[in-house]
Amino acid sequence: MRSKIVLLVTTVVCFLIQSTVLHLISIGSITPNLLLILCVSMGLMRGRKVGLWTGFFSGLLIDLFYGSVFGFYALIYMYVGFFSGYAFRIYYDDDIKVPIMLTVIMDTFYNLAVYGLQFLLRGRLGLGTYFTRIIVPEVFYTVFLTVIVYRIFHYINYHFMSATRKESESIWVLK
Amino acid sequence: MKNLKKKFQFRLHLKSKHLLVIMTLFCGSTIVATLASGITTVPFQEAVGTIVVPFEKSINTIGVWLTDLHKAFKDKQDLVDANEELQNTVDTLTEQNNILIQNQSELTRLQELYKLDEEYSDYPKVAARIISKDPGNWYDTFMINKGSKDGIRVDNNVIAGKGLVGIVTEVGSNWATVRSIIDDSSNVSAMTVGTDDTCVVEGDLELIDEGKLRFTQLYDKEDKVTAGERVVTSNISEKYVEGLFIGYVSEISLDSNNLTKTGTLVTPVDFQHLKDVFVITVNKQDSIEEGEQ
Q: What is the DSSP letter of A138?
A: H
- Quickly list H helices, chain B: 2-8, 16-32, 42-73, 77-108, 111-114, 284-292
Residue A4 has pLDDT above 70, yes or no: yes
Q: Which residues contact B59 (CB under 8 A, 6 or more apart)?
A: A16, A20, A21, B131
Tell me which residue in B29, B143, B208 faces A65 most closely, judged by beta carbons. Answer: B143
Confidence of residue B117 (pLDDT cuts 50, 70, 90): very low
Please compute the mean of the pLDDT values over residues B185-206 and round it to a whole number: 87
Confidence at A127, pLDDT banded by 50, 70, 90: confident
Q: How far is CA B201 from CA A146, B89, B217, in A?
A: 38, 28, 9
For chain B positions 166-185, those within 8 Å of chain A (CB to CB) are 170, 177, 184-185
Please indicate whether, in this complex, the C-beta atoms of A29 and B137 are within 8 angstroms of each other.
yes
| Helix H or strand E segment including A128 | helix A127-130
Best of A68, A130, A141 to substitute, by most chain B Cβ atoms within 10 angstroms, is: A68
- Are the C-beta atoms of B213 and B233 separated by less than 8 Å? no
User: Which carries the bigger pLDDT value, residue B161 or residue B130?
Assistant: B130
| CA–CA min distance A52, chain B (Å) | 7
- Taking an 8 Å cut-off on Cβ atoms, the answer to whether B272 and A29 are in contact is yes
Q: Can you spell out the DSSP letters for A60-115?
A: HHHHHHT-SSTTHHHHHHHHHHHHHGGGTTTS-TTSSHHHHHHHHHHHHHHHHHHI
A:B CB pairs within 8 Å: 134
For chain A, positions 104-123, list CB contacts with chain B under 8 A. Answer: 111, 114-115, 118-119, 122
* B95, B120 Cβ separation under 8 angstroms: yes
Helix, strand, or coil (residue B123): coil
Confidence (pTM): 0.77
What was the pLDDT predicted at B55?
A: 85
* pLDDT band of A126, cuts 50, 70, 90: confident
> Does residue B201 carry a pLDDT above 80?
yes
Question: Bridge partners of B187?
Answer: B202
Check: CB of residue B200 under 8 Å from CB of residue B193. Answer: no
Q: Is the dihedral of CA B143, B149, B155, B159 positive or negative?
A: negative
pLDDT at B205: 84
B240-277 pLDDT, tens digit each:
888 888 989 988 888 888 888 899 998 888 888 888 88
Provide the pLDDT for residue A144: 93
**B165 vs B63: which has the higher pLDDT:** B165
pLDDT tier for residue B40 given thresholds of 50, 70 and 90: confident
**Complex ipTM value:** 0.78
Residue A172 has pLDDT above 80, yes or no: no
DSSP 3-state of B3: helix
Lowest pLDDT segment from B76-80, B129-133, B144-148:
B76-80
Percent of chain A with pLDDT over 70: 93
Report the mean per-residue pLDDT for chain A.
86
Cβ of residue A80 closer than 8 Å to a chain B Cβ:
no
Mean pLDDT of chain B: 81
Largest CA distance in chain A: 55
For residue range B10-36, what is the model confidence (pLDDT) as tens digits? 566 777 888 888 889 998 888 888 888
